[in-house]
């Protein structure tokens, strides 16, 4: 299975992604055949900022789970509860 096919399973998921020129936390909003739409999350403010279109051939690493991802999801959840 190609990585692009596997990433389609994780659309709308918060991940840590490393590609050729940078690495960021964010949400995969769309996975196409030749690019990924990635919404960058600012860990300091817990708000989404830039939307990036990344060539799928440039992606080096995607972390789907782990301590840092769990911490970010917990902080996002806490902000959602306090805003309502």
Domain coordinates of the chain in residue numbers?
3-83
pLDDT on residue 53: 95
pLDDT at 81: 57
Domain 3-83 has CATH 2.40.110.10: no
CB 15 within 8 A of CB 28: yes
Q: How many CA atoms lie less than 13 Å away from 44 in the CB half-sphere? A: 1
> Which token pair is 43?
């860990």
What is the full per-residue pLDDT of the chain (84 aa) written as tens digits? 688 888 899 899 889 999 999 999 999 999 998 999 999 988 888 888 999 999 989 999 898 877 777 877 777 777 765 555
* pTM greater than the 0.85 cutoff: no
What is the structure's pLDDT at 74? Answer: 79
């Amino acid at each position: 299975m190609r990585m692009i096919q596997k990433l389609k399973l994780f659309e709308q998921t918060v991940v840590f992604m490393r590609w050729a020129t940078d690495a960021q936390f964010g949400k995969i909003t769309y996975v196409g055949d030749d690019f990924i739409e990635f919404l960058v999350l600012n860990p300091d403010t817990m708000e989404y900022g830039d939307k990036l279109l990344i060539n799928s051939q440039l992606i080096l690493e995607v972390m789907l789970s782990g301590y840092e991802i769990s911490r970010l999801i917990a902080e996002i959840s806490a902000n959602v509860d306090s805003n309502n």
